[in-house]
Structure 1
Amino acid sequence: MTTSLLKRKSEKLVLLTIMLLSSIAAFAQDSISITETTTTSTTTEEWMANPLYWVIGALLLIVLIAFIVRSNSRKD
């Protein structure tokens, strides 16, 4: 019983260490400042910002899910 308790405690310690190191690495990435100068500016709209593409994508996803569900129900 003490072996399993020791094993659980060591696993928790390892997980705590991994979480601590990953949070330190994430915080270190945030503290680095990179300065970039861009001189060109465009007024073209990105395709992801256009709501029409989101609506069409959602409709296609709904139709795809409907076809998958419908084909599974025919097999029964």
Structure 2
Amino acid sequence: MNTVSLKNQLNKFGILMLTFFFSALAFAQEATKTPNMDVNVTTTKTTTTEQWYTNPIYWIIGGLFVIILIAIIARGNGRRD
């Protein structure tokens, strides 16, 4: 076995062990007893205002503007020398 092949196999084994370690760590976190999460939250919301960037019409108009701007720039000045 040459050194490059051995190094590649060791790298693959290291990645396998890291993957196993992190998956075991993730499962261990799920296996712990879940704490009691009884939280009472009361909120009152009196006004709702819609921001302009949440309206899809502005996104469509902006997209059309960008497409038209790119088409104008790509077209050039239209003169042929």
> Which TM-score band (shorter chain)?
0.5 to 0.7
Q: Which has the higher helix share?
A: 1
| Percent of matched pairs sharing the same residue | 23
Larger radius of gyration: 2
Q: Deviations over 1:38-75 (max 9, x none)?
A: 2346697xxxxxxxx5xx35x72894487268537724
> Distance between the aligned counterparts of 1:69 and 1:16, measured in 2?
51
4+ runs of 1 displaced by more than 6 Å?
none
Aligned pairs, number: 66
Q: RMSD over aligned Cα, in angstroms?
A: 3.6
Segments of 5+ residues of structure 2 without an aligned counterpart are: 46-53, 76-81
Q: TM-score under structure 1 normalisation?
A: 0.55
Normalising by structure 2, we get a TM-score of: 0.52
- Give 5+ residue unaligned stretches, structure 1: 45-52
